[in-house]
Chain A
Amino acid sequence: MPSVLIPTPLQKLTNHIDAVSVAGGTIGEVIDHLEKAYPGLKDRLCDEAGNVRRFVNIYVNGEDIRFLEEKATPVKESDEISIVPAIAGG
């Protein structure tokens, strides 16, 4: 299963686990499965319309899903998914 790196602000919802493996063939499915395992998580990542929130960045193997297919971005067994809050510059 793809592994998802959980950022610090969300680890309260995952019992302080920083990486979890969840099923899913797309980012959207992965988010839904995360929600089943850790209720409340989807609300943090997505707004009322189900879109990924403005200040949330999701990457598949380091590539921003906004450059891929957003929530329809396919994921494979070996993929590493990162969830990262937007950060100030440099």
Chain B
Amino acid sequence: MDKPSPYFSNLKCRECGKLYPKEAIHVCDFDFGPLEAAYDYSAIGKVLTRALIESRPHTMWRYRELLPIDGEPTVGTQVGFTPLVKADRLARALGVRELYVKNDTVNYPTLSFKDRVVSVALSRARELGFAVVACASTGNLANSVAANAASAGLKSYVLIPADLEQGKVLGSLVYGTHVVGIHGAYDQVNRLCSEIAGKYGWGFVNVNLRPYYAEGSKTMGFEIMEQLGWRIPRHTVVPMASGSLLTKIHKAYGEFTKLGLVDAAAFSVHGAQATGCAPISHAMKKGTDIVKPVPKPETIVKSLAIGTPADGYYAIHAMRETGGCAEDVTDDEVVEGIRLLAECEGIFAETAGGVTTACAKRLIETGRIPRDESIVICVTGHGLKTQEAIMGKCGEPRVIKPSLREFEEQIYQPDQQAHSAHA
């Protein structure tokens, strides 16, 4: 057993504040409120400086004092520090001055931001002595648990809705994990997992290991600030499924401010959903924090199709507190968003990235994000995983014989050769 971390002190109920030991538990015994990692910030403030962080390897573990494990990370030690791309061509297309894409499509090893959360969850799972790890997933989390468990030598089970995209199913099977498809929507998978976790003592990354798992998302926010030159962007647009990522980016900005690693500054976090499953966005637009569940999500954006979002309530409060907005877009807009991002920046995002891009566009066009302020959009997974969503919607290759004449007759267009990038 590792010596307890001097920085990560307890788990704490977000509702009533009751403290719990750092075990594999996730809800408060008294009010079922979610448990969250609590830290000794004055101890962290004494050691964690910009210079110390900058001296460390380019991975998410450069912020390790703010992550909830006791010893050294043992799983996913190469994860994170993905590019923050200055997206000038997309900025021009959207008519804004300063725009960046936080590009987690190239996160290591499974091309989504989930590698961040799994790295923390499985490192902690090992500290707590679990031999079997598992998750309920809409696909990306399953891929990441399968890959990271394989490399760590842990046995894994991933439970997914049976109708997921092929790329996401294959992207779990290949690692030799046990893939269990459930007839039902994600929320039903989740319910089953919660029942299994209690019964067999497995380490479910998003059930009994959730307090550890969720904290991994903060590293996306830490990296954004560091990569911007140690400052908080004025606007951050974040996709919402359960709402957890948005609340953790909000928390990350607050922690760096509290520790003096960035100057206090006004910032807004905005949430993005697909209209076919937009319980958080709908509640936010109605001005309530009561999130009405969506019984049957209907959208091509399966990675965000969570009808009962566990962190919806907190996501709404984070948006409200920071003057942020929620928006949701149709499946057609999602496809347009994927293409816009790809054609402007060379980044191929999965459907959730299309949601974020399309929602950012709407927020800009409607004046809710001013055109002259800094904006970061969070793109959380790679497009090769959700090819079905855009198949046939990006044109077809033109096929010719291996003949110069056919090439010149059918393909080559002299008047277009000088033309530069399209506007």
Contact = CB atoms under 8 A, between A and B. Distances in A.
Contacts of B293: 64, 66-67
B245 to A, nearest CB: 9
B136 A90 contact: yes
Contacts of B187: 64
Contacts of A87: 26, 136, 190, 193-194, 206-207, 210, 242, 310
B408 interface: no
Nearest to B206: A88
7 contacts: A9-B29, A62-B191, A82-B191, A84-B194, A86-B32, A87-B190, A87-B310
Given A9-B25, A67-B293, A67-B295, A88 B210 contact: yes
Interface residues on A, range: 20 to 34
B31 A90 contact: no
Most buried by A among B30, B187, B207: B187
B213 interface: yes
A12 B187 CA distance: 26
B186 interface: yes
Contacts, number: 106
Contact of B310 (A7, A66, A82, A88): A88
Given A53-B31, A55-B33, A62-B188, A85 B136 contact: no
Interface string B133-145: 0011110110000
Interface in A72-90: 82, 84-90
Interface in B171-227: 184, 186-191, 193-195, 197-199, 206-208, 210, 213-214
A88 B188 contact: no
Given A87-B206, A90-B186, A64 B31 contact: no
Contacts of B80: none
A57 interface: yes
A54 to B, nearest CB: 6
A20 interface: no
A18 B313 contact: no
B68 interface: no
B67 interface: no
A16 to B, nearest CB: 11
Contacts of B208: 8
B141 to A, nearest CB: 5
A85 B136 CA distance: 14
B233 interface: no
Central interface residue in A8, A54, A56, by most chain B CB within 10 Å? A8
A5 interface: yes
Contacts of B383: none
Contacts of B30: 44
A89 B32 contact: no
Contacts of A67: 293, 295
Contact of A7 (B138, B194, B295): B194
B27 A55 contact: yes
Contacts of A62: 184, 188, 191
Given A66-B293, A89-B138, 18 more contacts: A5-B195, A9-B32, A55-B33, A62-B184, A64-B187, A64-B295, A64-B308, A86-B308, A87-B26, A87-B136, A87-B194, A87-B310, A88-B311, A89-B190, A89-B242, A90-B137, A90-B189, A90-B242
A11 B241 CA distance: 30
B244 interface: yes
Contacts of B214: 88
A87 B194 CA distance: 8
Contacts of B207: 87
A90 B33 contact: no
A44 B32 CA distance: 7
A87 B196 CA distance: 13
A77 B118 CA distance: 41
A7 B191 CA distance: 11
A88 B32 contact: no
A58 B313 CA distance: 18
Contacts of A8: 197-198, 208
Contacts of B241: 89-90
B15 interface: yes
B306 interface: yes
Contacts of A54: 313
B76 interface: no
State the 9 A-B residue pairs at the shortest beta-carbon distance, nearest first: A89-B242, A8-B198, A86-B310, A55-B32, A89-B241, A85-B27, A90-B137, A90-B138, A89-B306
Given A55-B31, A55-B32, A90 B195 contact: no
B34 interface: yes
B309 interface: yes
Interface in B26-74: 26-34
